[in-house]
Amino acid sequence: VSSIPSIPALFLQLPFALIPVLTFTSLPSVMHDFANGLFWRVAGGLLILLICSINMYFVVAYVMALHSLALYIGAALLSVVYLAFVAYL
């Protein structure tokens, strides 16, 4: 895990790029003949789930390395809000 403070922010921002890309490229009203089929929607969704899981692992590992109860609680609250927002997307 890196000691660069911006790395967790980058980990958290990645799903906010991937999920809308998959959503918009799967909409026939937007992409017409080029919209994703069922296979690519499922494969893309599973890939995004894998990437989000890996990202959350690294964020947890980063926060655990800081050894601060206040940061653990703050990270837990932000994680709940983050996961709720990702689920909303």
**Model pTM greater than 0.75?**
no
Answer whether residue 34 is part of any domain: yes
Exposed, middle or buried: residue 59 (CB in 10 Å: 0-12, 13-18, 19+)? buried
Mind listing the pLDDT tens digit for each residue in 28-50? 999 999 999 999 999 999 998 89
Mind listing the pLDDT tens digit for each residue in 11-29? 778 878 888 899 899 999 9
Answer whether residue 60 is part of any domain: yes
Answer whether residue 83 is part of any domain: yes
- Report how far residue 31's alpha carbon sits from residue 57's, in angstroms, rounded to the nearest whole number: 34
- pLDDT at residue 67, rounded to an integer: 84
Range of the domain at 17: 6-88
Answer whether residue 1 is part of any domain: no
Answer whether residue 19 is part of any domain: yes
The domain tally of the chain equals 1
